[in-house]
Amino acid sequence: MSLLGNITRLLSKPPAVGVTPADVVHRENKWRLLRYRARAAGRAFATPILLVPSLINRHYVLDLLPGKSFAEYLVAQGWDVWVIDWGTPGDEDRLVTFDDICDRALGRALRLCARSGPSGRAHLMGYCLGGTLTAIHAAVRPERVATLTALAAPIGFHDEGLLSAWTRSRGFDVGALVSACGNVPWQLMQGAFHLLRPTLTLSKLVHLADKVGKSDAAGFDEFADGFLALETWGNDNVAFPGEFYRRYVGELYQQDALLAGSFTLSGRPVDLGAIECPTLAVTFANDGIVPWRSAAVLLERVGTPEAERLQIHQPGGHVGGFVSRSATRTLWPKMAAFWAARDGLAT
């Protein structure tokens, strides 16, 4: 393909994202619970998997596009896969609390998912903030959790990362921000993420220009699909419910309340030591959003028997380390193997 042809391809209609066939099995306020349709050969595993994404990004990072979809990969392996789509909060959702999300909404999704398996439990996996939510929920409501997987999930919030430093600065007034804005605007949060790596956009453009000039037709088509899908997701952000944000930043980031043992869920103390199910922590060496040690500390705090605590430490960053071609060959099979080896524990 010529240079002009590659440019034309890049400017054509972006690839469809989140297209693995799924059905909406529950809908409440803005959030939905999706269940991916089984492969033609049926399901090979007894225990369902519930995927929990972050609140501030769309769920389809877990179902990016064919060949780069974690959900598609799991369904092809024979898993019963469910995912929460948190939706888009409106102004009327500014009073949605941490307990509303982490206890009531997540609890309802887990209950519906777990009922589909013979044991009444599910493998629970959370990505980024979704992993924080799943860890907190599992500590207080462990009954339906067969295993816990925290993927690049912040657990210790007083770390060496810039987000931790910024949120703990004396000039950052969470209460004033929430009072003024209601829901925290997505533009504010996206701007903060851009400031973590100010040259990232330029770096991506240089890489893109190099690919446009050098790739053949097949190679460029594959690159363009992946590049545009990830950029679509990365720029498709949503606002943060104000009251949820007030506790999330005020208690977790500023007070490190989860590790300090002072955090509560619906009035109940959150003790990570109460988590006794098999636990997997996935960390990334170059994660600028969740420094890997702040995610790995989960394994030091859970009450899970030591033989059932596992860390998978991968190269790459917070997003690229999970959706890269390398991840499809290494990380995804390792995660699926963790669940497969423990499928019988929940039957």
The rounded distance, in Å, linking the Cα atoms of 3 and 312 is 40
C-alpha gyration radius of the chain: 20
Q: How confident is the model at residue 213, as a pLDDT?
A: 63
- Tell whether the model's pLDDT for residue 13 goes beyond 70: no
Tokens encoding 263:
């955090």
Q: What is the DSSP string of 9-48?
A: HHHSPPPP-S-S-EEEEEEETTEEEEEEPPPTT----SS-
Task: CATH number of the domain at 112, please.
Answer: 3.40.50.1820
Among 29, 27, 73, CA closest to 49: 73
pLDDT digits (tens, 9 = 90+) for 229-283: 888 888 888 999 999 999 999 999 999 999 999 999 999 999 999 999 999 999 9
Residue 203 is predicted with a pLDDT of: 82
Each residue's pLDDT tens digit, 131-188 = 999 999 999 999 999 999 999 999 999 998 899 999 999 889 999 999 999 999 999 8
Q: What value does the mean pLDDT take over residues 100-112? A: 98
Both structure tokens of 49? 């998997």
Q: What's the predicted TM-score (pTM) here?
A: 0.92
d(CA 238, CA 58): 8
For the chain, the domain total comes to 1
Residue 185 CA, distance from chain mean position: 20
DSSP helix/strand/coil, 90? coil
Lowest mean pLDDT among 3-7, 27-31, 196-200, 298-302: 3-7
Evaluate if residue 38 carries a pLDDT over 60: yes
Q: How many residues does the chain have?
A: 347
**Residue range(s) defining the domain that contains residue 104:** 3-346
What's the one-letter identity of residue 301? R
Q: Which pLDDT value is given to residue 2?
A: 47
β-pairing, 145-151 vs 279-284, is: parallel
Q: From start to end of the chain, where are the E strands? A: 22-28, 31-36, 49-52, 81-85, 122-127, 145-151, 264-265, 268-269, 279-284, 309-314
User: Phi, psi (5° rounding) for residue 275?
Assistant: -80, 115
Higher local confidence (pLDDT), 165 or 217: 165
Q: Is the pLDDT of residue 315 over 60?
A: yes
